[in-house]
Structure 1
Amino acid sequence: MQGVIEYFKSIDPVLAALYATIFTWGLTALGASLVFLLRGMNRAFFDGMLGFTGGVMVAASFWSLLAPGIEMSPGEGFAKVIPAVIGFSLGALFIFALDKILPHLHVNFKETEKEGVKTAWHKSILLTLAITLHNIPEGLAIGVLFGGVSAGFEGATIGGAVALAIGIGLQNFPEGFAVAMPLRRQGLSRWKCFNYGQLSAIVEPIAAVLGAWAVMTFKPVLPYALCFAAGAMIFVVVEEVVPESQQSAHTDISTLGFIGGFMIMMTLDVGLA
C-alpha cells in the first residue's frame, strides 16, 4: 500500500484523481459482471450491501471531507466552521436539485415511484440514472481531495485520498450489481445489463478531474469544495441509500451492513492518512 501512495505522490494530481476513479469505475464494472455468473440476487445480501454503501459514504463524508475541510478553514470558533456550513448546504442543495430534475428510479422501488421530471424513458435507463446520481459526489470528493494535496493544504493527504478511493471502490462493487441484476429480471440480455451497470459510474472520473482542477486553480475554495462533496453524499445516503435498504424484511441486516461500512471506511481513512 505504501508503494501505491508513493506512486500517487509522484504524478500530477489531476492524473492521480483520474486513475483513482478509473479504479472505482472498474469495481463498479466488476460488480455488474456478476450478472454473467449469477441467476438471481439474494435480497438479504443485497440489502446488507446497500447498508454497507451508506456506511462508507457517511464515514467518508466526515473523516475524509468535513473534518479536513473544517481543519483547513481560517479563523476561530464560529468563523472557522462557516465554510463547512456553506459548502455542506450547497452540496445538499445541488443533489436536491438534481434529484428533482433528473428522471430516475431507485432500485427497490416500484416503477410508479420514479422521481424527477416525467419521462417515457425505459426503466433500465431510470435505474442507471439513480445510481449515477450516487456517483457524482463520490467522484467529486476524490478529485477535490487529490487537488487539495497538490495545493498544499494541511489536512489533505495522499493517504487520505487513496483511502477514500478504496472505500468508494468497495461500495461501488455492489452498486454495479444493483443495477445489472434487476435489469436481468426484466429480460434484458446479460451484456446490456452489464453495460448499464458499469455505465452508472462513468461520471466518477469526469467529476474527479473537474474537482481536482477546480481546487488547484482556485485554492481558496478547497474547504468549501470538501464540505460541498460531503453535503452531497449525505443527501444521497439519507434520501436514497437508506430508504432503498429498508424496503424489505431485512432491515437489521442492512443496518449491520451500514455499521460495517462505516467502520471499514473509518479504519481506512485513519490508518492511511
Structure 2
Amino acid sequence: METSQIDTLGLELYEALRSCRPVAPLTERYPEIALEDAYQISRAMLALREQRDGEVVVGKKIGVTSKPVQDMLGVFQPDFGFLTDAMLCPDGAEIPIAGRLVAPRAEGEIAFRLRKDLNGPGVTEADVLDATESIIPCFEIVDSRIADWKIRIQDTVADNASCGVYVLGDTEVDPRAFDLPNLKMRIFHNGELHSEGLGSAVQGNPLTAVAWLANTLGEFGIPFRAGEVILSGSLAPLIPAAPGDRFALELEGVGGCSCSFR
C-alpha cells in the first residue's frame, strides 16, 4: 500500500475510535492488504493518539491466541497491538460503553510486568521469565472498530488488535512460584461462573505467547521496555459486555480482578 493510503486508513480508524462509529472491514474494501500494511496502519492510528491526545505507550498485547477465541472470531493466527496509559482502568472500575466503546467483549488474561527490556527476534520463554517482574490478573476489554466484528487478521492488526481498555488486578506475584501452563482462571459474569481456562490455552504457555509477541514486534523494530505491561492472551471464550454487566475473575493462587459496565 502507498504511504498516503496507510495514513488515510489510520485516520479513519482513529476517528472510528473517537466517535465510536465502526467502519466497514478493510479487507472487503482492500483485498490486497498485507499484514505489513495492517501493522503500518495501526502505527499511523497510534501516532494520532500520541500526537493529538497525548497518549503514551505503556505496553503491548497479543490476542487471538486460544482456540476458543479463534473459533469465535474466525481468525486463526495471533494479532498484536499497543497499550497506552489512557486504556488502563483500575481494578473494580465501572466502564462506560456509550461514548467510549463500540461492541465490547471481556476476556480474562494473565498480564506480565517487565523488569528489563526484551528485544526480539531470538527471545525465548526463559528470556521472558528472566525479564518479568510479576504477573497480574487482568481483564482485557476487546472492542472492534470494524463493523459487526467482521474481521480477518489484517483488520484486527490494523485496528490495534481490537483492543479497547484493560483492567489490572491489585495483586502482583513472582511468576517463578507458579506452573504457568497449569495456572487456572475462573471467570464470573453477573455473579455466576461463566467459564474456566488454563494458562496453556495461550500457545501452550503464556511465556510462549509473550516470546512470540516480542519476536514478532522485534521484526518491526519495536522492543519491549522495562516497566511495560504485556497482555498474553485470553484463557477462555470472549463474553459480550452490556450496560449493567459485572465481571470478575480469579487466578488460582494469585488473586482476582473485576469490572462492571454502564
State the TM-score, normalized to the length of structure 1.
0.25
State the TM-score, normalized to the length of structure 2.
0.26
Q: Please identify the structure whose Cα radius of gyration is greater.
A: 1
Structure richer in strand, relative to its length: 2
